[in-house]
Amino acid sequence: MSAPKALKAETREKAGKGAARALRREGKIPAVIYGGKKPPVSISLDGHELFKLLHAGGFKTTVFDIDTGKGKERAIPRDYQRDPVKDTLVHVDFYRVTADSVVEVEVPVHFLNQEEAPGLVRGGVLNVVTHTVEVKAGVDNLPEAIEVDLKGLDIGDIVHASGVKLPKGVAFANEDPEFTIATIAAPTVVAEEQAEEQAEAEAEKAAEEAGETTEEEGAEGEASEGGEAEASDEKKSED
C-alpha cells in the first residue's frame, strides 16, 4: 500500500442543509470524520481537489492524513453522495483508522494474461460474474485491486475465489471460498450451432416417434379391417 495522502480541510462550525448549500456555492464539499471512539468532526474540502481524487481511482481504498486546521486525522473514505440530478459530489464520509485497524472495502478485479488463456485464444468469451469484490485488510495492506491470473484456463473453466492469490494480509469478505468471479464460456457462434444441432436432433427424434406411432396405428387399423372381413364371411357362410 502507498503512504497516506495529505488532504487539507477546514473545520465547519455550522451544520445543516443551509450551511452545506452555502459551502457548495463556494466550491467546497461538506464532509464528516467519525469513528475511533471519538466525537465526529465536521469539515469542508476543496471541491476541485476532491473531484480529481475521486476520479483518479482507488478513492475508497486510500488512507488520508486530513489536516482539519485544528489537528490531523487519519481516515479512509467510507461513503460519498452525489446530487441525483447533476451527479455532482455533495458530501463525503470519512472513517477514522489507526495502524491496527482492519476495514472492509470494495476493490475492482483486474484480469491478467488473457492472451495466455487457451480458451480465450480459441475464441472463448470471458464472462465476468463480478467486476468488484469486498475484501478485508489492515489499513497498511489495502489493495487497489485484486488480480486474477487467467493463464492456462480453457473453455468451461471457472474462476473461484479459492483459486485467486490474494496479497499478504488480505482476505475476501465473502465467507464462501467457492463464490464465482468469472468463467470462460464457449464462443457465441459455437453455442448457437450446438443449440441448433440439439434442436434438430430433438425434432428428428420427435418425427421418428411420430412415424412409429402412425405405423402402429396403421397396422392396428389393417388388423381391425381384416377381423371385420372375416366376421362378415363367417356370417355369410352360416346364412
Range of the domain at 36: 5-98
Number of other CB atoms surrounding residue 36 within 10 Å: 14
pLDDT one digit per residue (tens) for the chain, 239 residues: 567 899 999 998 777 778 888 888 899 999 999 998 899 999 999 999 998 998 888 899 999 999 998 899 999 999 999 988 888 889 999 999 998 899 999 999 999 999 999 999 999 999 999 999 999 999 988 998 999 999 999 999 999 999 999 999 999 999 898 999 999 999 865 555 566 777 778 878 877 777 665 555 555 555 455 555 454 455 444 55
Q: Check: pTM over 0.85? Answer yes or no.
A: no
Residue 234 lies in a domain: no
Same domain, 130 and 81: no
CATH number, position 36: 2.40.240.10
Q: Please check whether residue 229 lies inside any domain of the structure.
A: no
Does 75 lie in the same domain as 131? no
Which CATH number does the domain housing residue 144 bear?
A: 2.170.120.20
Same domain for 119 and 60: no
Whether residue 198 lies inside any domain: the answer is no
Amino acid identity for residue 138 in this structure: G
User: Could you tell me if 27 and 87 lie in one domain?
Assistant: yes
Whether 152 is in a domain gets the answer yes
> How many domains in the chain?
2
The DSSP element (H or E) to which 172 belongs, if any, is strand 170-172
Q: Of the candidates 186, 211, 231, which is a domain's last residue?
A: 186
Task: Tell me, yes or no, whether 61 lies in a domain.
Answer: yes
The answer to whether residue 40 is domain-embedded is: yes
Whether residues 93 and 108 fall in one domain = no
Answer whether 23's CB lies under 8 Å from 93's CB: no
Report the distance separating Cα 144 and Cα 164, nearest Å. Answer: 15
**What is the structure's pLDDT at 70?**
87
In a domain, 24, yes or no: yes
What is the rounded CA–CA span in Å between residue 223 and residue 231?
12
Question: Is 90 in the same domain as 10?
Answer: yes
**From CA 167, how far away is CA 150, in angstroms rounded?**
17
* Same-domain pairing of 94 and 117: no
Give the model's pLDDT for residue 237: 47
